[in-house]
Amino acid sequence: MADEFPFEISPMFEGERIRKDNMYVELAGPKSKGFELVRAADMDDVVDDKFTLIGPDLADMEEGSRYPIAMIYKIAGELVEADLESIVERRNHEFQNYIQGFMHLNQRDDVWLRVGKDAVKKGMTSFEPVAKAIMMLFKNELPFIEKVEAVYITDMAEIEKEIENAKAVYKARDERTRDLHDEDVDTFYGCTLCASFAPTNVCVVTPDRISLCGAINWFDGRAAAKVDPDGPQFAIPKGEVIDAESGEYTGVNEAAKRLSSGEYDRIKLHSFFEYPHTSCGCFEVVGFYIPEVDGIGWVDRDFAGTAPNGLQFSTMAGQTGGGKQVVGFLGVGVNYFRSPKFIQADGGWDRVVWMPKMLKDKIVNDMPEGIRDMVATDEDAADVESLRNFLKEKNHPILARWVEEEEEAPEEEEAPAKAVPQAGFSAPQMMPSNFMPSMPMMSGGGSGGVRIILKNAKVSIEKVIIKKQD
Amino acid sequence: MAKIIAVTGKGGTGKTAITSLLIRYLTKGDKVVLAVDADPDTNLPETLGCETSKTIGDIKEYMHDERDNLPPDINKESVLESKLYEILEEMPGYDLLVMGRPEGSGCYCYVNNLLRGIMNKLVNNYDVLIIDAEAGLEHFSRKIFRNVDDLVVVTDGSRRGLRTAERIRELVGELETDISNIYVIANKVTDANHEKIAGTAKELGLELIGMIPVDEMIVERDLAGEPLFDLPDDSAAVQEIEKIAQKLGL
């Protein structure tokens, strides 16, 4: 290898920084333009190992100067397809950093390169051997590439002509990527960065479910797990599908057992009421069940006011956080609102009745069109009563559930304290404004049993006997 | 492996002045230095005579605010690394990195984790890393820097300054960062308090590795807000720093 090229190639040069003092030339970067692009092509359209340079070569560049650069690779092979382009493109970063005296940062149209003075002194006077080395590494490391051809451009006018095309390719790719769903992959990712605050937390990141902190998506998990499989982000094999609708998988349940040290053994990724995802302590938004309207409200960290249930984010976060599975509350990342599987086990958006205006504004364009005006904000409703009136006025789909309840259990309306079966929910009822909102008392993990909601009740009990039913 | 030195101490004792004089000393040789301003008060750039605009705090905020707008499969470590290189101020003989403002209210676990990885790689490009750190050592508790070789506590003549040094030593015991040595430098020393300082340091079991006299040139420049980086070689403080640097094996 060393004989072939006028520079050393080795992974040990990764992370090598070329400082301004030692820089021969800077290419692209924040003060110039450039991009890198890999395109899949037909076998006949690629001349293997061919290199074309449009614009000045390294030897023509003055020491200390700055030029734009574009690097385009055409790849072909029986197994080469458009979906592989971004994976191959990413390797350009890695391979260029293997070259001693060559620094490559970032990706796509944000690339930033520097060539060191020492490298030029040792004979790196042309881009040709650099491109040839990268093409060699592509074929050696990614054997599905049978032919590869490179075009580098250092002429600004040419780059400006090509860059819009590159941006269109990136955009189309992003659209495809956003179309990736839980059913398309066989691996999810876990994260233990929160484990010190939330020891039983089971963070599962899937294409349709961002981490609760909002920072880690499925691709981030994949990237991190690939570099360090034992690091804070790691693979969770999906296993068998138990229930696709609520998002229950054997692999996730096994991971839940392991990560929570046996505390939890079932997690439904897209469920609010039954075996919900655990809530860490870093979540951006907390969802809360409002029994009086049988709907779910959401409040984010930045909202300092009080939700219609009379509680603030911090109070609910305190109650929910710490890695617990708390039925009736759920921590999520903001991006989860954009998921097509958003609490789909419980009716999805049709179940959402309230969120702070700031939060709603952030995601309103990603909400299903029909529901946008029906979800109340802090400007529309500050308490349960005004919320109920708002929902009625807007004819929110949640009303369908009220009718059911009223028909099912009319005699319970008058009862000061009542037991409501798990499957049903309390009918909407007036609530005094000074009333401490009730936390729904949930049966452990939501597996059958009863839900008891006490409203405006004074209860004195001498003795309670709870017996297991045989 | 870069040698990592952190300079800390009670506010007003002159730790930033001493940090910049240590950097001045190092860049006179052929050492490549990474200077880090880890004090939210951010005085080091001015003392070095270097203009910076962006900080690590800014790029963490950028990562936080932009995360849903970035392409979904973009490599965030690579984005953060590039942003970090953008805010590295490249000066002759040294680079300057400013930590800047504290985090906002969101969760920064992930960004900090990426940052730790990037910093570990970055540090390998330097001979010496010198950190101007606030007395609470916040960035150490977040483990952005690991394995500090020498922690230098700067104190003035006051007993409070030396007490701070003692407290910092206790704090170090609680940190997970591995700190090999703790030294004390007394600053603004006069003939009158010279012996008293040495005595108190001994009493508290602190290892005093230098006593910098009151230097009129520094006083004047501080008043005028001028950098200390180009102090003449015959300044009393510069000469004492030279001795200290040698004791630190620089």
Nearest by CB to residue B110, choosing from A108, A213, A219, is: A213
Mean pLDDT across A338-347 = 96
Backbone angles phi, psi at A431, to 5 degrees: -135, 125
The angle, 0 to 180 degrees and rounded to 10, between the axes of the packed helices A85-98 and A127-141 is 120
Global pTM reads 0.84
**Interface check A216 vs B, CB under 8 A:** yes
Residue A419 has a pLDDT of 41
CB contact under 8 A, A19 and B125: yes
> How confident is the model at residue A429, as a pLDDT?
42
Name the residue in chain B with its Cα closest to that of A113.
B82
| Range from A31-40, A288-297, A353-362, B215-224 carrying the lowest mean pLDDT | B215-224
Q: Would you state the pLDDT for residue A424?
A: 37
* pLDDT of A442 over the 60 cut: no
Q: What distance in Å separates residue A272's CA from the closest CA in chain B?
A: 22
pLDDT of residue A293 exceeding 90? yes
Closest residue to B110, CB basis, from A15, A90, A216: A216
Alpha-carbon distance of A174 to A38, in angstroms, equals: 15
Q: Are A106 and B82 in contact (CB < 8 Å)?
A: yes
Give the rounded percent of residues in chain A with a pLDDT score beyond 70.
Answer: 87
Residue B179 confidence (pLDDT)? 87
Element (H, E) at A450: strand A450-454
Phi/psi-derived region of residue A241, left when phi > 0, alpha when psi is between -120 and 50, beta in every other case: beta
Q: How many CB atoms lie within 10 A of CB B129?
A: 22
CA angle, B213 as apex, B212 and B218 as ends, to 5°?
95
Average pLDDT, chain B: 89
| DSSP labels, B71-99 | -TT--HHHHHHHHHHHH-EEETTEEEEE-
Structure confidence at residue A406 as a pLDDT band (50, 70, 90): low
Please say if the pLDDT value at position A434 is more than 50: no
Whether the per-residue pLDDT at A423 is higher than 80: the answer is no
Q: Do B109 and A223 touch (CB under 8 A)?
A: no
Q: How far is CA A128 from CA A56, A152, A159, in A?
A: 12, 9, 18
Q: What is the mean pLDDT of residues B116-140?
A: 89
Q: Hey, which residues 84-103 in chain A have their CB within 8 Å of chain B?
A: 86, 90, 93
Q: Is the pLDDT of residue A343 over 80?
A: yes
Residues of chain A above pLDDT 90, percent: 79
Look over chain A and give the mean of its residue pLDDT values, rounded to a whole number: 89
- Between A19-28, A413-422, B237-246, the lowest mean confidence (pLDDT) is in A413-422
pLDDT above 90 covers a percentage of chain B that reads 53
Does residue A230 belong to the interface with chain B, where contact is any CB pair within 8 Å?
A: no
Chain B interface includes A31 (CB < 8 A): no
- Chain A residue with minimal CA distance to B79? A106
* Arithmetic mean of pLDDT, A360-384: 96
Between B17 and B145, where is the model more confident? B17
Mutation target to probe the B interface, by most B beta carbons within 10 A, among A220, A226, A314 is: A220
In order of their start, the domains of chain A are 11-178 (3.30.1650.10), 190-454 (3.40.1470.10)
CA B211 to chain centre: 19
Q: Do A219 and B110 touch (CB under 8 A)?
A: no
Residues 6+ apart with CB under 8 A from A369: none
Q: Are A390 and A381 in contact (CB under 8 A)?
A: yes
Q: Does A107 touch chain B (CB under 8 A)?
A: yes
Closest CA to A90 of A102, A108, A65: A108
Residues of B in contact with A21 (CB under 8 A): 90, 92-93
Q: Enter the ipTM.
A: 0.89
B95/A108 touch (CB, cutoff 8 Å), yes or no:
no
What confidence tier does A456 reach under pLDDT thresholds 50, 70, 90? Answer: low
Contacts of A231 (CB under 8 A, 6+ apart): A224, A225
Give the pLDDT of residue A281.
81
Q: Are B139 and B145 in contact (CB under 8 A)?
A: yes
Q: A149 to chain B, minimum CA–CA distance in Å?
A: 24
State whether residue A220 sits within 8 Å of chain B by CB: yes
pLDDT at A405: 63
Band the pLDDT of A114: cuts 50, 70, 90.
very high
**pLDDT beyond 70 at A444:** no
A281 CA: distance to closest CA in chain B (Å): 9
Q: Check CB contact of A407 with chain B, cutoff 8 Å.
A: no
Least confident segment among A131-135, B23-27, B61-65, B106-110 = B106-110
Q: For residue A449, what pLDDT is reported?
A: 60
What's residue A407's pLDDT?
62
Enumerate the residues of chain A whose CB falls inside 8 A of the CB of residue B79: 106-107, 110
Q: What is the pLDDT of residues A185-201, one digit of tens each?
A: 999 999 999 888 888 99
Domain boundaries of chain B, sorted by first residue: 3-247
Tokens of A425: 């929910």
Which of A249-258, A402-411, B72-81, B217-226 has the least mean pLDDT? Answer: A402-411
- The residue-averaged pLDDT of B201-218 equals 90
Chain A residue numbers touching B92 (CB-CB < 8 A): 21
Beta-carbon separation of A215 and B71 below 8 A: no
Tell me how close the Cα of A418 comes to any Cα of chain B, in angstroms.
Answer: 40
Q: Is A302 on the interface with B (CB under 8 A)?
A: yes
State pLDDT tens for residues B159-191: 888 888 888 888 887 877 788 899 999 999 998
| Alpha helices for A228-336 (secondary structure H) | 250-259, 313-320
CA dist A337 and B188 (Å) reads: 59
Query: What is the pLDDT, as a whole number, of residue A455?
Result: 64
- pLDDT value of residue B165: 85
Whether B81 and A105 lie within 8 Å, measured CB to CB: yes
Chain B residues in contact with A106 by the CB 8 A cut-off are 78-79, 81-82
Domain covering B3-247 assigned CATH 3.40.50.300 in the classification: yes
pLDDT bracket for residue A245 (50, 70, 90)? very high
Closest-CA residue of B relative to A167 is B71
Substitution target in A106, A210, A226, A284 with the highest count of B β-carbons within 10 Å is A106
pLDDT at A439 over 70: no
